[in-house]
Structure 1
Amino acid sequence: MRINWGTGLVLALVGFICFIMYFVIKMSVDSTYQYDLVVEDYYQQELKVQGNMEKEIKGNKLAQNVQSTQSEEGILITFPDSLDVSKITGKVFLYRPSNKQFDFEVPISLSNQNLLIPDNRLLGGRWNLTVDWQYNGNSYLFKKEIRY
């Protein structure tokens, strides 16, 4: 049986389409390949972007902004020295881009200028640190990407 070039072209095209469809179905059905959104309420978070930018600008205008350093004990978050720590409230959110099961949130409760995120809660790799804090009715935001 002879196959002319038109039949060969059609067979090659059908084979390629089957090859692509196999991978599309495999990726959408297999549970090991996750394609979650960054956050569950993505669209509600998108509406807050302008407010977050304003809070971040406010924090940058402070004489001393929040700072984070890595140590053997974990991540040390230092609040400005000029502020009364009893009036600082808010939360610290650590987001792990590779796996949302490791994300966690810590309320801000200070006895001095420092807040320590313990080493046992952190895995090696990339973390996105977000400190959303309030002082005397003003809201501030500090963001930093950390490689631990």
Structure 2
Amino acid sequence: MKINWGTGIVLAFIGFITFILYFVFRMSTDDRANHDLVTEDYYKKELTYQQNLDASNTARDMDAVLRIEKSSEGVTIFFPEQFDPQKISGRVSLYRPSNKRLDTDFPISLSKTHLLIPDNSLVGGRWDITVDWQYEGNTFFHKQKLVY
């Protein structure tokens, strides 16, 4: 049986379309690929964006910039030493872009000027650390990317 060039082009298109559909189906049903949204409350977080910018500027203006360091014990967040640690309150959010099941939030409770996040609660890789904290009526915001 002899195939002319028109039939060959049609068969090539059908083969290409089948190839593309196979990969679309395969990637949409694969359990190893994670297709989650970045965050669940995306629009709600976007509404607070200007407030976060204002809080970051307040922290810079009042010399209340945080320092985040990694060590063998975990990640340590150093708060400004001129502030009384007992009066600092707020929330620390650990966001893992590659796996939302590893995301955690916890309240800030200090007895010293630093907060230690233990090594056993962190998996190696990239983390986005967000610290939203208050001191004597002022709100401060710090966001940093960290590769652990």
Category of TM-score, reference length = shorter chain: over 0.9
1:4-43 to 2 correspondences below 5 Å: 4-43=4-43
Alignment TM-score, normalising by the size of structure 1: 0.94
Deviation at 1:71, TM superposition (A): 1.2
Q: Distance in 2 between matches of 1:6 and 1:139?
A: 70
SS at match of 2:112: coil
1:40-119 to 2 correspondences below 5 Å: 40-119=40-119
User: Which deviates the most, 109-118 or 96-105?
Assistant: 96-105
Give a deviation string over 1:49-69, Cα, whole Å, max 9, x none: 111111122222222411111
Deviation at 1:110, TM superposition (A): 0.5
SS at match of 2:101: helix
Alignment TM-score, normalising by the size of structure 2: 0.94
Deviation at 1:41, TM superposition (A): 1.2
Identity percentage of aligned residues: 52
2:144 aligns with 144
Could you list the runs of 5+ residues in structure 2 that have no partner in the other structure? none
Deviation at 1:114, TM superposition (A): 0.7
Q: Distance in 1 between matches of 2:32 and 2:63?
A: 47
CA shift in 2, pair 1:56/1:64, >3 Å: closer
Could you list the runs of 5+ residues in structure 1 that have no partner in the other structure? none
Aligned amino acid, residue 128 of structure 2: N
Q: Distance in 2 between matches of 1:103 and 1:6?
A: 56
Give a deviation string over 1:15-52, Cα, whole Å, max 9, x none: 10111011111111233221101111112112221111
CA shift in 2, pair 1:144/1:45, >3 Å: same
Q: How many residues align?
A: 148
Aligned amino acid, residue 36 of structure 1: D
